[in-house]
Amino acid sequence: MYIAEAHPTDIWQMESNVKEGVLFRNPTTNSEREHVADSCVRKLHIAFPALIDSIDNHVEKAYTGWPDRLFLVGTDGRVRFKSEPGPFGFNPTNLEKALSSEIPRPTLASAR
């Protein structure tokens, strides 16, 4: 889920964003946010559909997704894992454990 831009050039820019050429103003319309999210998806080579929060930040407010977090949502729509704020709070091992408990491993019998 792409939510509010964390480091827009007109509010708070990080030096690493400048070095990497990630320079966007804070979007003020859904269309502008879609453009920024599309750029993010392309730059990061994300191979799965990305959802985009509306400009009223409804999802960000509901999930406390800012600054950025990793979530795992179960097939029932409930949050099964929520990381600490990123990027420093990201712990791939914890997400892997949550995925392993949520997705059953295939067995020889199910592979046939």
Tens of pLDDT along 39-58? Answer: 888 887 888 788 899 999 89
Tell me the pLDDT tens digit for each residue of 66-99. Answer: 667 788 888 888 888 888 887 778 787 888 888 8
| Structural domain harbouring 80 | 70-112
Q: In terms of domains, do 5 and 32 share one?
A: yes
For the stretch 24-36, pLDDT in tens is 888 999 999 999 9
Same domain, 85 and 106: yes
Whether residue 31 is found in the same domain as residue 82: no
Instruction: Provide the whole-model pTM.
Output: 0.59
**Cβ neighbours of residue 91 closer than 8 Å, sequence gap 6 or more:** 83, 84
Q: Are 42 and 91 in the same domain?
A: no
CB contact set of 94 (below 8 Å; sequence gap of 6+): 81, 83
